[in-house]
Amino acid sequence: MKISLYSYYPQFNDFQKPKFIEWSEDGEIEAYHDALIPSALETKTNKKKIAVLTEPRCIWHVTYGNFDIDKFLKKYYNIFEYIFTFDSEILKLPNAKPMSFPGIWYTGDEEKTKSISMCCSNKSMCESHLKRKEIADKLKNKVDILGDYLGPQRVTTKDIYSKYKYSIVLENEHSYWYYTEKVINAFANKCIPVYYGGGRISELFNPRGIIIIDNLDDIEKVIDNIPPHYYEDNIDAVNENFELAKQYRCYEDCLYQNYKEELECLVS
């Protein structure tokens, strides 16, 4: 069964086109993403509505401007059948369901000829962006810093992960349900993430294929203390995580696979 959703901005590319959900102007369920969530209050149709909240609080000021989406959802949550989010506060609402929004932009199994990468853009929208720049400055003589902060141009997912054994992956928010395409793309390219992010990732993937950073102040120490043959000694975990990552190819399918019964009930 394929669920048909209507949305004002279905965003996916051909690489991650969903198998179980299709976007259509005649969709059976109205899906309101992020900045469009408030418009659900004004839409007068008989279709059932869901809200999909994919952005972390640290950049809500960019997504929503001065609009208080937290207050809005707590007041009008009942206009939605479900609210899908990783936000711990919104998850307290009775119809909220935990959901992360990963994806894979590139996958490969290439020879590892380089050691450690780190992607750092020139974004300054939140404290995490600024912290990432600070870390890039600190580590620029120890790891390859890619991206338009210290480099001359933006880079692709393939550039960041495919040739590297390790990649420093810093999520914009550190919370249990929040993990993104950053860490999933590392797994999808047989790259071990040196990871600062949601604690749930070690439950979903083989932890021997992940190097966890508990405190960002210790990141240089973590890098310096990676055993010389850690990658080779844990290649079985790398391969396992590579296979596990395939199920996170696109978030629409993750949504369907996690909440198949709930979604199908809305169109039955």
Phi, psi (5° rounding) for residue 167? Answer: -145, 135
For residue 7, the model assigns a pLDDT of 67
Residues 6+ apart with CB under 8 A from 13: none
Which amino acid is residue 192, in one-letter code? I
Residue 27's CB: how many other CB atoms inside 10 A?
A: 18
- The mean pLDDT of 228-245, rounded to a whole number, is 98
The string of DSSP codes covering 114-125 is: EEEEEE--S--S
For residue 13, the model assigns a pLDDT of 53
For residue 14, the model assigns a pLDDT of 57
- The mean pLDDT of 97-105, rounded to a whole number, is 92
Is the pLDDT at 46 greater than 60, yes or no?
A: yes
- The mean pLDDT of 23-47, rounded to a whole number, is 86
- The mean pLDDT of 211-238, rounded to a whole number, is 97
Domain boundaries, the chain: 3-103+250-267, 114-248
Is the pLDDT at 252 greater than 90, yes or no?
A: no
For residue 20, the model assigns a pLDDT of 85
Q: How far apart are CA 127 and CA 59, in angstroms?
A: 9
Phi, psi (5° rounding) for residue 116? Answer: -130, 130
Is the pLDDT at 265 greater than 70, yes or no?
A: yes
Q: For 125-155, what is each residue's pLDDT tens digit?
A: 999 999 999 999 999 999 999 999 987 688 9
Q: How far apart are CA 199 and CA 212, in angstroms?
A: 9
CATH number for the domain formed by residue range(s) 114-248: 3.40.50.11660
Residues 6+ apart with CB under 8 A from 27: 4, 5, 6, 7, 47
